[in-house]
Structures are given as structure tokens and as C-alpha cells.
Chain A
Amino acid sequence: MTVAVPPFQRLVDEHWRDVARLAFALAGPQEGEDVAQQAWVKALAAYPSLVDARNLRSWLLTITAHTATDHHRSRARRPRPTDELPERAVPPAETTDDRLWEQVRALPERQRTAVVLHYVADLAHTEVAAALGTTAAASRRLVSDALTALRSQLGTDLHEVGS
């Protein structure tokens, strides 16, 4: 049996900013838009067979996080050119915000996903745990480890981080 779900456009109107934020935080300025785009296409394809319509926001954000993870892994597998323009491969971060997002992306995968789902996507630890296939206690630990790492990387540059 299928459940009554709202017209898909309503999800887009209500949640596109959350999805775009999350994709940006997990995949960065260039790739973030692609990740968000892919996540919406996946969600649209899966929508008619959705069996639980109670938390559509969390459903969308989980799809986005998984899309970002897949994206990250497929990039990591791709061979990298080694002798070309090594100094310019990564443009230097200009602002404190850019440095923050860069350090977030440099976190270990599960820490990164947990801290971003919790603070950027505003999901509760139980929802973060469901997205990561773990427990709420483990989610808390991942988020706290991530904040510790960010603070030590960013030093006093970013007093807004976890004060």
C-alpha cells in the first residue's frame, strides 16, 4: 500500500535550501551543486514508492548525505594527474568561512557526515544515527570528535566554532 505524500514540488520549495547547504558543506562549492542536483533526481525517482512519509526532510537529507559520500568515494578512486600544476590544483582558501568548510571536508568521512548532519542540516542525534547506521551515542561521539579536530585545526581564527 502506498501512503499519501504531498506533491513533490512542496518538498522542493520547503527543503531546497537545506539540501543545498548540506551538499555544499559535504562536497564543497564546486561539487556541492552537482551533489544536490543528483540527490533531487534520486529522491524524485524513489518518491512514488516511499513507504513512510512521516519525516520527509530527514529522508531528503539522508539521501543527500549518501550522495555526497558516494561522490567523494568515486572522486577518490579517480586517478590524479601528478606532475601538472601541483601548486594550483587546490586554490587557497580566501576567507575564514572557506577555511572552515575546507577543514570540514578534510575530516574523516563519518565525523564529517555526522557533524554536518547535526549542525548544518540540524538533525537530531537519533536521525544522524539512522543516516549513518549507528547509535545516537556514537553520533554524539563523532560530532564531538569532529569539533575537537576543527578547533585544533582552525585555532583562534574561528572563535565561533564550538565556543
Chain B
Amino acid sequence: MEIIRTDVAVIGAGGAGLRAAIAIAQSEPRLRVALVSKVYPMRSHTCAAEGGAAGVIKDDDSLEQHFNDTVGGGDWLSDQDAVDYFVREAPRELIQLEHWGCPWNREDNGSVAVRPFGGMKIQRTWFAADKSGFHILHTLFQTSLQFSSIERYDEYYATDLIVEEGRCTGFTAIEMRSGQMRRFEARAVIIATGGAGRMFPFTTNGAIKTGDGMALAYRAGVALKDMEFVQYHPTGLPNTGILLTEACRGEGGVLLNKNGRRFLQDYGMGPETPLGKPQLKTMELGPRDRVSQAFWQEERKGNMLETRWGPCMLLDMRHLGEKVIDERLPFVRELSTSYLNTDPVTQPVPVRPVVHYMMGGIHTDAKAATTLPGLFAAGECACVSINGANRLGSNSLVEILVYGRRAALSAIEYIESIGSRSPTAASAGPADAAQARIRELFSRPLGKETITGLRQEMMDTMERAAGIYRTGDELAEGVTRLGELRRRYAGIALHDKTNVFNTDLVQALELGCMLDCAEAVMAGAAGRRESRGAHQRLDYTGRDDENFLKHTLAYHRRAEPPRLDYLDVVITRSRPGVRDYSGH
């Protein structure tokens, strides 16, 4: 097997991975960086983020207020030492991106403009129209091209981490163009592969968001943390799940039920605010968990609009006018018009909550290090935790920057600490085992199990049991069902036995990753007998700080559902309190 030797290998070349690679190239140009991704960098799903990135920049704002919004928004499950670091670094990272050319929207005087966002008490969301993620991704990618120490391995699918003597020393990956397996030997590895929304049938996530990096770490013995916290974004197009950014509401759009009532006022997010005058941190600028839960409650009362795609609420932006929509929300207009044949300038847009973001992920500390020496993680695939039980919109585009860089700096520190001990003369054993696993998959005879069939059953199971509201009975059944699917997964076989760009193979491997992540979500949700943030139990309706002011840690077991453990939340100064979105 061909060996590729490097100093730091970064798996994933979206926002977090690119930021990490650039940070290494700038801080330690002597270190070789291998940037490995299953897609070309600009295809990464960072490109689909729309609304913006939060960072304190204006005189009326403070780090303390960003901290408070984030910790309260996360229902006190965020680690406060990490949030402190995050809010402090956020403006620096956004300015850095500005220096690299990101086309942020501007005030008339040329300073950076900010917009309101859900759950934020002060306007602090930097934005590039409604293509913020796209511009961040392309700015980072283009910036990365000037560093000769960054070597890209585009369209390589990582399959297994290699752990030797208790350290992560690399991984195996399939070069998709040839179908050949390569062994990457690295002194440190950073995982930055993003989320896993494709476990669910209705999601804003692109096809590539299959939890690959989470599964890599999980199988290597690192815990997945707080996986039960799955964010539903309130406003997805009902036929495709395409995201309409929260900035629609930040700019003044409102949510209506079928009777034309701004129903959020009935769910602790009122009183109603004047049309076209959005008030921060209340009504339509409430946090995503609360807004999606209000939708669910209204649906049960029969107050939602019946459409051919199921019950919907209406996102009304007509009062913003064409000029504002074209200037600030042009992509929303394009998407809504193209994919739903509904022009927001003239019609309210039917929308419904859609799986959007994983608050949980690979368990890391506040420095982006995992419990496996040599392995670091950043971005949506990681759980530091900044986002706690519910992420605030526009915090994730900042997290990929702040923590992408942090992971890079930690990896450099780690390499310095181990000195010349690495790279070791690695044994071929683990890589050969990874290759054998793939060969075995190729050699299986076709049976009755199909990738499509199992994937559909997994998605149905997740939607039924791990949706906006959950019950113990449904979760227990979900755990059982996913266990069955795991066993049946051993029976899937490939139709495509060739090597070049074999997407049948990649889909089979991705399905395996999603099943692992799904089990961690389901088990975590079954174990958490309380309601907090995005995890709402109909049988345990209150938040239980006595027993569950804790992170869930799920550990992989080969033939059984995950083993659960719990870890105290880091609280430095903000004691759990009431989340108040009544506009006071």
C-alpha cells in the first residue's frame, strides 16, 4: 500500500479544515500539511450556510453579552471556558477573513455591517448578503492556494484511523479516482468533516453530510458527545428541505399560522412586535429550538396550513419590499422562486422545520483535543461544547474559524511535545485490516439487503423517534430498530465491483458511518430523561439540572448499542437560569 507521509493531516476541507490548514502553514511553514477531503474543497457544505457569522464589533456590544446569549441559548449545556475563548477570538477571526478578501456587507462609511439574528440580544452577525458561508469557504480556499506547505488530496475518502501505542498516527483513505487505498502517516490528525444531517429524511444538509469523521473517531474509541441534540431549523422549503436563512426574520420577515396569526407570541416569545420592526431576542428572533417546537405544537392544534408536502407555516417577507430582498436576501429569492415557484416579494413562503445541525459530535476539550493523543477535531463534527443544547444561528460559521485555528495550534503544540518520537516506523497491521474490510465488502454476494433500503429505514426511524419531540417508548424502539439495522448492514453487498470513482462503495461506507452516529443520537436521547434545548421529551418535560447538567458521552461498541457515560458541564460564572425570550 502506498504511504503518504506528512506532519499534520487534516480530514475535511470545508471551513474548519481550510482554516486549520492555513493556520499551520502560517504558524509553522516547516510542517507539511495534507488536506484530505472526499470532495474538492469548494464543494464542502460550508458553502450552503447563508445568514452570517457572529462576532462582537460594534460599540454597543460586548463579549459578555455574546457569552450570555450563547450560554443561555444553549440552555446552559455549553462549556463556559470554551465559550469565553470563542467570543474573544470571534471578532479577530472575522477581521482576519476580511483581510483575506471576504466580501462582507458594509455600512455607508465602509465599516463592516451587522444584522440581527435569532437569540442574540445585540446585532452582531457579519454577513455577505445571504451567501455568507459560500463567501467564507471560497475566501479560505482561495487564500489556501498561496501556501506551498499545504498539499491537497481531493476526492480521497478516509476509512479508518490508525492508532498505535495509544496515539493517532494516521489513517487509511481510498483515492476515489483509482480506487486504491493509501496510508497517510501523520504526526497529528485533525478531523473537520462537518455534520451528519443525512441520517434524517428531511434535512438542509448536502449529500456529503454523512458523519464520516464522527464515525472515524468514534470507532477509534473517542466518545461522541451530546449527540441527542439535533437542531431543526424552523424555515426549510417543504418540498426539498432547502434552507431559507434566519436572516429572513432578522431582516423583518414574520411567521404566520394558517389563520394569519404570528403564533410565536403564544409560546413564550411574545408579546407581538410591530410588523417590519424586528425586536431582538423575541418573537421571530427567538432561538431555533423554541421556534421549531412552537411549530410542532401549532401543528398538533391543527393551526398549520395543509399543503401537498405536509403541514406548513408561512414565512411572510412581502413587507420588506423588493429592494431590501434583492440587496440582503437575493439567494432566498432565487431559491424560493426556483424550487417552490413562490416569489417572496409577492407571496408568503410555506416552510417547515428541517434537520439542520448537530450540536453534538466528537468529544474535544476547549483546545480542540480529543482524548486520543494526536487526534484533534473542529467544526460541526466536533463538540467542544460551544453550542450546548441549542446552537444560536451565526455561531457555527465563527466556530469553524475559531476552532479550526485552535485545532491547528494544538496540533503544533502536540508535535513539539512529542519531539522526534514521531513519525514512528508504523506497522502495516491496521492499514491492512482496513483494506481487508473493504475487500470483504467487494467479495460479498448480492443478497436481499440494499443500501437504499437500509438508508430509508434508518431515516424513517430517526424521524419517528428522534424528531422535535421524543418519548421514552419511541426512543427505546428506535434503539432496537437501529440495532437491527446495524446487524443487517453486515449483509449489504456492492453492485459495482470496479475501482474508478465507485460511488456504490462510498455510499455503503457512508451508510455505515451514519448508522453509527444514529445509534449515538438515539441512545443519548433515550438516556437523557429531561427536556433541554433541542432535546424535548414528552415524558420528561422539565429541565433537570440536578441529574442532567451534564454532557452525554457515547462510546462505540461493535455489537451492541453504545455505552453511555456523563461528564459535568464547565460552569465558570453563569448559573443555569430561565431562558427569557419575552423581549424584556
> Do A and B form a real pair?
no
Which residues of A are interface residues toward B (Cβ below 8 A)?
Answer: none
